[in-house]
Chains A and B, each alone.
Chain A
Amino acid sequence: MKEVETEAGDYAAAFERLRENPSRFPAWIEDLRRRALEQFEAVGFPTVKEEDYRYTNIAPIANGEFQPTIDFDETRRRARRADISSLIYDEARGSRLVFVNNVFSPELSSTEAVAGDIVVEDLAEAIHGEHAAMIKNFLARGAETSGDDAFTSLNTAFMTSGAFVLLPKNTETKMPIHLLFLTDATMSKVATFPRVLVIAEPHSRATIIEEHKALNEDAAQSYFSSSVVEIYVDDEAHIVHYKVQREAENAFHVARTRAEVGRASTYNSTTINLGAGFTRHNINMNLRGAGSESWIDGLFFGQGTQFADTHSLINHREPHCTSHQSYKGVLNDKARSVFNGRIFVHQAAQKTDAYQSNKNLILSDQARVDTKPQLEIFADDVKCSHGATVGQINLEELFYLTSRGVKPELARNLLTYGFAEQVVQKIEVESIKRQLDEVILNRLHTTLDA
């Protein structure tokens, strides 16, 4: 416990130093941040003694001596020199925000294709504009209810910028909005705190790509990235959310996704965890309006000593809502996966249709899977089910392929690829799909051209 306390002290010191920078935030945000820091100091980092961290030891983060970015000018200068051409998706060429170590980079960003009343800008900028009142209403609203979480508080305390997306009533974007969070950890052990606020007003529609990546990956030191994404989907709005996590292999990635879904609206998300040595993702879904629908899919493809933990909570608060969750894990080498999925059906949520599955493919004897799907149901007229499997490649399928002359190793890789592909193929942005396919095939040392 002692180390953890010291660490909270380090963050407090960084917080003070950060305040010496001339703040671009109004006083209420400064208050919010101050309260969040106090909250963080009060609860400290969680330990494995807590049920939610039973399989996940975050001591390396608590003791990691990570430093939040203080020098914004230097960061901005370095960012300007960065070459991100390989990270740009064709579909989102003119609708992209890029952040480097908590600092918004106007040079790397482009919002020229964002049309009409739709707002895609830096939170620190938007807070002074016409939407200030709205931001005040929504920002960190969920933190009040999940205030016990140290990582959320820490992010809010160090919120210096962020992505703000507003889809006014009846608006729709054809091109996806790409939010790219880069970490430059070549100089020191950086702690970075990406923040996203998406507000989708009634009848709006958009696709959001949230991506996390290291800049100059080969030279990166170990770093710690802890994001908070808040998404408010109003009545009859439709949001598709892709999260692509390709942090450096020595990075610690902690993420919170919180979505509030209104009446007859849809929120569909796909999370792809390929990077980071350590990943912890909390998903908190609230189906708040009757007839809303949600797909929550995910894939972790682990190799080396990678560790990924997904904790999801699907809250059915209103009747006639549907949620379908499908998470898959492929574990090679000494990779470890933790899944904890909780479906909570409130008493009012009659006619709920909730399904959850967690399927894992273990390719190595050193790999490990801990999974815990949970159902908590307080309404009687519901259709809820969940399933979890941990297993190997089906021998019959393998036999079938080899009987057709496919070499056993290739057959194995094809079947593994197929298993992972079921998640990837749902992504409707071609160039992301292509890129992910490439990474996965690479990990299997296979090409499809052969």
Chain B
Amino acid sequence: MSTANIELLANQEYKYGFVTDIESDAIPKGLSEDTVRLISEKKGEPEWMLEFRLKAYRHWLTMDEPKRWANLNYPEIDFQDIVFYSAPKQKETLASLDEVDPELLRTFEKLGIPLNEQKKLSNVAVDAVFDSVSVATTYKAKLLEAGVIFCSFSEAVREYPELVKKYVGTVVPTNDNYYAALNSAVFTDGSFVFIPKGVRSPMELSTYFRINNSESGQFERTLIIAEEGAYVSYLEGCTAPKFDRNQLHAAVVELIALDDAEIKYSTVQNWYAGDEMGKGGIFNFVTKRAACRGKNSKVSWTQVETGSAITWKYPSCILQGDNSIGEFYSVALTNHAQEADTGTKMIHLGKNTRSTIVSKGISAGKSNNSYRGLVKMSPKAAGAKNYTQCDSMLIGDQCSANTFPYIEVQNATSTAEHEASTSRISEEQLFYLQQRGLSQEDAVSLIINGFCKDVFRELPMEFAVEAQKLLGLKLEGSVG
């Protein structure tokens, strides 16, 4: 493959990099207690929510930015240079989707998420979040018939304050870590899901996050509660326009599973990753945690991380209930100057709890890709079991792949197994496929997809197809 060709392919456009020209209602840059009050006021929040924010903000002030324990390298973040609230201007209340600004509908359509009643994705309910606010949620009424509450977080605070109050901040406390505290103070929107006892959600739920304003950060908060015996599959996707400056995305996701409940949470993360020199892109500092509170409960995290300049993310499971199960399936792909430090924590507290971790890291270009994980068997977690597999693939000799697993076992009946390996696409494999008539690109794509199969298998079908295409696109021209 000629150098010119490689460059052509490597420089391929990030196809979600456009900016929507829409008038927005944004507050001035900067962060202070007034900013927190202003956000709360704009959202018309009750007093207790404001208190929650202020408590978090005051604690955040006492914390230091976590410096350099992660295998990441990024410049200081100036919190006074960020717009903490930006919402597209629109009519006061929306009776139906028809009243949503057509420009917004077009934006989401372009992103492959049609919100129109006629064109909606079948059997997937979507909550679309644009900068700081949720602009539309589809199939809301149909879900309510089944008893499932699916709405924006702001709406939940207004409509279901008791549920929000009972669960918010119980999995990720406001003082958990620097970015979680920041999020708790300034979060603007996100999704709220409540599946009552014994209900299986009749469709997949999904949230689509879009950052549009070049100066804003996105601080969303998601809360999913599955009562006894409930089941839900939830997926999220994210994109952002191409800007030269870095933007901060600091989200908090809390999942709560009671007895016999199951939550499946899938992410396809494709934030703008910056250009090949590492200019611009999203700093993705996310705290995701699930509490398997009930007996026999199960939480499964599946993530495909392909975007963001910096990813700092450890979706975790606290396995409190006896026999509860935690799963983590991850594909993390980094190219150019991207850096990712991602993994999971499985905290085994209950008896006979089980966890499975499958992590596939692919690094190309000059990127830096790390798996960091913790498996902890507490003294009471009798009979607990863990299986961990971390595989890395390196493409080119300018990138790095790292594995940092922490395993802590404190009783004599639990077992933990960890395996990791590193490999690359071998010349023989490529040769074999090419002599069968596949182009080099297709051959690489096929090998990568085989490498990631264990994870893709866990994704809902439409997203699995999407994820495979995404990986192919991201890596084009990396091998040659």
Report B407-464 residues with CB < 8 Å from chain A CB: 407-424
Instruction: Say if the beta carbon of A107 comes within 8 Å of chain B.
Output: no
Chain B residue, CB-CB nearest to A342: B404
Report chain A residues within 8 Å CB of B422: 375, 377, 382-385
User: With contacts A370-B406, A375-B403 known, is A362 near B424, CB below 8 A?
Assistant: no
Q: Which residues of B contact A380 (CB under 8 A)?
A: 394-397, 399, 424
User: Are the CB atoms of A371 and B407 closer together than 8 Å?
Assistant: yes
**Contact in complex: B407, A385 (CB < 8 Å):** no
B416 touches A391 (CB 8 A): yes
| With known contacts A375-B392, A380-B396, A383-B423, A389–B401 Cβ distance under 8 A | no
B280: Cβ under 8 A from any A Cβ:
no
Q: Give, as a whole number of angstroms, the nearest-CB distance from A310 to chain B.
A: 14
- B402 in contact (CB, < 8 A): yes
A370-B413 contact given A347-B397, A381-B424, A382-B422, CB 8 Å threshold: no
Q: Does B405 contact A (CB under 8 A)?
A: yes
Q: Which residue of B lies closest to A389 (CB)?
A: B417
Q: For residue B151, give the distance in angstroms from its CB to the closest CB of chain A.
A: 42
Interface size class of B (residues with CB under 8 A): 35 or more
Does the CB pair A377–B402 fall under 8 Å?
Answer: yes
CA distance A380 to B397 in the complex (A): 5
Task: Output the nearest chain A residue to B372 by Cβ-Cβ distance.
Answer: A374
With CB as the reference atom, state the residue of chain B lying closest to A377.
B401
Interface string of A340-376 (1 = CB under 8 A from B): 0000000100100000000010111101111111111
**Chain B min CB distance to A186 (Å):** 37
Give the CA-CA distance A131 to B403 in the complex, in Å.
Answer: 43
Q: Give Cα A372–Cα B377 distance, bound, in whole angstroms.
A: 14
- B392–A377 contact, CB under 8 A? yes
CB distance from B73 to the nearest CB of A (A): 14
CB distance from B48 to the nearest CB of A (A): 36
B residues less than 8 Å from A369 (CB atoms) = 407-409
Set of chain A residues within 8 Å of B397, measured between Cβ atoms: 347, 350, 378-381
Closest chain-B Cβ to A40's Cβ sits at a distance in Å of 25
Contact with A along B381-402 (1 / 0, CB 8 A): 0000000000010111111111
- Given the complex of chains A and B, what is the CA–CA distance between A369 and B418 in angstroms? 14
Taking the closest CB of chain A, its distance from the CB of B358, in whole angstroms, is: 15
**CB nearest neighbor in A for B402:** A376
Partner of B406, one of A367, A372, A379: A372
- Which A residues are in CB contact (< 8 Å) with B410? 368
What is the minimal beta-carbon distance from A314 to any residue of chain B, in angstroms? 14
Question: Given that A380-B397, A389-B416 are known contacts, is A373 also in contact with B421, CB under 8 Å in the complex?
Answer: no
Query: Is B114 an interface residue when CB atoms closer than 8 A count as contact?
Result: no
Bound-state Cα–Cα, A388 to B69, Å: 23
Q: Chain A, interface size: which category? A: 20 to 34
Please, which residues of chain A bring their CB within 8 A of the CB of B403?
A: 373-376, 386
* Chain B residue with Cβ nearest A376: B402
Residue of A nearest to B417 (CB): A389
- Is B161 among interface residues, defined by CB-CB distance under 8 A? no
**Chain A residues near B147 (CB-CB < 8 A):** none
Asked if A392 and B406 make an inter-chain contact with CB atoms under 8 angstroms apart, the answer reads: no
- A360 touching B402, Cβ below 8 Å: no
> Which of B396, B397, B415 has the most chain A CB atoms inside 10 A of its CB?
B397
In chain B, positions 244-281 with a C-beta closer than 8 Å to chain A are none
Contact check, A377 vs B379: say whether CB atoms are below 8 A apart.
no
User: Complex: how many Å from CA A389 to CA B408?
Assistant: 11
Contact of B420 among A350, A373, A383, A391 (CB under 8 A): A373
A370 to B404, CA, bound (A): 13
Q: Which residues of B contact A387 (CB under 8 A)?
A: 417-420
Contact status A374-B402, CB under 8 Å: yes
A365 CB contact (under 8 Å) in B379, B402, B406 = B379
Q: Chain A residues near B419 (CB, 8 Å)?
A: 385-387
For residue A283, CB closer than 8 A to chain B, the reply is: no
Cβ–Cβ contact B409 & A362, under 8 A: yes
Query: Which residue on chain A has the smallest CB distance to residue B388?
Result: A388
Contact of B408 among A51, A364, A370, A386 (CB under 8 A): A370
B424 cross-chain contacts in A, Cβ below 8 A: 380-382
Residues B421 and A384 in contact, CB atoms below 8 Å apart: yes
Establish whether residues A360 and B412, one from each chain, have CB atoms under 8 Å apart when the complex forms: no
A383 to B393, CA, bound (A): 11
Asked whether, in the complex, the Cβ of A375 is within 8 Å of the Cβ of B401, the reply is yes
B69 proximity list for chain A (CB < 8 A):
51
CA distance A226 to B15 in the complex (A): 60
- B394 near A377 with CB under 8 A, answer yes
Residues of B within 8 A of A363 (CB): 412
* Given A372-B404, A375-B422, A383-B422, CB of A390 within 8 Å of CB of B396: no
Over the window 179-223 of chain B, the binary record of Cβ atoms lying under 8 Å from chain A Cβ atoms (1 yes, 0 no) is: 000000000000000000000000000000000000000000000
Separation in Å of the B264 CB from the closest CB of chain A? 28
Given A51-B69, A375-B403, A391:B394 Cβ within 8 A: no
Contacts of A379 in B (CB 8 A): 394, 397
B391, closest chain A residue (CB): A385
Bound complex: CA A340 to CA B397 (Å): 26
Evaluate contact between A374 and B407: CB separation under 8 angstroms. no
Provide 15 A-B residue pairs closer than 8 Å at the C-beta atoms, listed in order of the A residue.
A350-B397, A360-B409, A363-B412, A368-B410, A370-B409, A371-B407, A372-B406, A374-B402, A375-B402, A377-B402, A378-B400, A379-B397, A380-B397, A385-B419, A389-B415
Leading 4 A-B pairs by shortest Cβ distance: A380-B394, A391-B415, A385-B421, A375-B403
Given A376-B400, A384-B422, 20 other A-B contacts at CB below 8 A? A362-B409, A365-B379, A369-B407, A369-B409, A370-B406, A372-B406, A374-B405, A375-B392, A375-B401, A378-B400, A380-B396, A380-B399, A381-B397, A381-B424, A385-B421, A387-B419, A387-B420, A388-B407, A389-B415, A391-B416
